[in-house]
Amino acid sequence: MFKYPSDLKIIQKRITKNLIIIGRTGSGKSTLSNVLTRSEDFEESDCSNSVTLDFQKKGFEWNGKSFNVIDNVGFYNTHLSVNEVWHKIARSFCSTMPEGISQILLVVDDSRFSAAEVEKIFGLLNSIFENDILDYVTIVRTKFNNFKSKKECDADKKLRNEIINPRRNIVYVNNPPTNIQIIDEEDEEVVIINKKIRERSRKIILDYLYKTCQDNYFKLKPLDQYVSRLPNNQ
Q: Tell me: the pLDDT tens digits for 149-169?
A: 999 999 988 877 666 666 678
The pLDDT of residue 104 is 93
The pLDDT of residue 1 is 47
Neighbours of 228 (CB within 10 A): 7
The pLDDT of residue 7 is 43
Distance, CA of 63 to chain centre? 20
Query: Is there a contact between 152 and 109 (Cβ–Cβ < 8 Å)?
Result: no
The pLDDT of residue 34 is 95
Sheet with 65-71: list strands edge to edge.
Answer: 56-62, 65-71, 16-23, 103-108, 137-141, 169-172
Question: Buried (b) or exposed (e) across 102-123, using 16+ Cβ within 10 A?
Answer: bbbbbbbbeebbeeeebeebbe
The pLDDT of residue 132 is 84
Could you give the CA distance from residue 216 to residue 219 in angstroms, rounded to a whole number?
9
Residue 131 DSSP symbol: G
The pLDDT of residue 233 is 56
Rg of the chain taking only CA atoms, in angstroms: 18
- Domains in the chain, ordered, with CATH? 17-40+54-226 (3.40.50.300)
**Which residue positions in the chain have pLDDT lower than 50?**
1-14, 234
pTM of the full predicted structure? 0.85
